[in-house]
């Protein structure tokens, strides 16, 4: 690593990273969420910072703290995250979307706490906006856009379809079938597919090391744009 900050490979570049879950409100006291810890996204933000980038981290609710020098924007819902990402997208050379964004949100948020019913109860849901796909549509050739894919079956095929459909440069495939990989753990086993057609298989390792693997591909890509 270089002593001089200006010699770092991502010096002078802005990076945007999303992390954590989103919470979709049902009523004033309840929400729909998921088990994302945010660890993967925070590790990527740290690594991009170490490589010299100016990092903005847009995070859903987590228990994590980012280190000094990372700009953190805290959000709650998928809609909040979309707005924050849209604001920062154009100025960002690098965008890594590791948040576990809810695919659905309640159609309406009850203004009062919902009382329990006699028997069944259901909530009507509507789809959220796909943030990554929205950014992919606006992407310029100078930007590096990285998405994640969580799959349990037809993993490579599904991940490749997401890469193409969302106009990404890389997709990080995360398999829940692998022991020690996934949501609330400290380790991850990933396969990274690139737009150019490369498939990189990685060993099970801690999320800091996975972040390094992802970010070195990002550095290479930025050199080529
Ligand atoms: N994503 C997003 N906005 C959403 C949903 C997902 O930006 N509303 C992003 C995630 O951050 C991730 C990528 O899309 O980088 C893939 O998420 P994933 O849940 O694996 O795929 P989906 O496209 O949501 O499809 P599905 O859940 O049906 O597999
Ligand atoms: Ca999803």
Domain boundaries, the chain: 5-107+122-224
Q: How far is CA 87 from the centre of its chain?
A: 16
Residue 180: pLDDT above 80?
A: no
* Cβ < 6 A, ligand 1 pocket: 78, 97, 99, 101, 103, 128, 130-132, 147-150, 162
- What per-residue confidence (pLDDT) applies to 6? 77
Task: Give 192-210 pLDDT, tens digit per residue.
Answer: 999 999 999 999 999 999 9
CB 96 within 8 A of CB 44: yes
Treating both helix axes as pointing N-terminal to C-terminal, what angle do 131-138 and 78-89 enclose, rounded to 10 degrees?
20
The answer on pLDDT for 4 being more than 90 is no
CA of 50 to the centre of ligand 1 (A): 27
Q: Is 90 in the active site?
A: no
Share of the chain above pLDDT 70, in %: 95
Which CATH number is 5-107+122-224 given?
3.40.50.10300
In angstroms, the CA 93 to CA 216 distance is 15
């Amino acid at each position: 690593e270089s002593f001089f900050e200006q010699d770092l490979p991502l010096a002078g570049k802005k990076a945007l990273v999303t992390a954590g879950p989103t919470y979709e409100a049902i009523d004033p006291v309840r929400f729909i969420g998921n088990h994302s810890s945010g660890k993967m996204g925070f590790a990527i933000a740290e690594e991009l910072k170490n490589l010299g980038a100016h990092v903005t981290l847009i995070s859903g609710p987590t228990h994590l703290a980012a280190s000094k020098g990372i700009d953190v924007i805290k959000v709650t819902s998928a809609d909040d995250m979309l707005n924050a990402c849209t604001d920062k997208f154009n100025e960002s050379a690098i965008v890594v979307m590791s948040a576990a964004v809810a695919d659905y949100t309640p159609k309406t948020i009850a203004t009062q706490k919902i009382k329990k019913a006699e028997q069944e109860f259901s909530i009507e849901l509507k789809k959220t906006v796909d943030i990554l796909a929205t950014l992919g549509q606006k992407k310029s050739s100078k930007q590096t856009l990285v998405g994640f894919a969580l799959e349990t079956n037809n993993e490579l095929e599904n991940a490749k379809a997401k890469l193409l459909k969302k106009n990404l440069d890389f997709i990080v495939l995360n398999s829940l079938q692998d022991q020690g990989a996934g949501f609330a753990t400290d380790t991850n086993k990933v396969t990274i597919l690139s737009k150019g057609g490369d498939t990189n298989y990685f060993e099970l390792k801690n999320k800091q090391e996975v972040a390094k693997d992802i970010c070195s591909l990002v550095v290479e890509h930025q050199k080529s744009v």
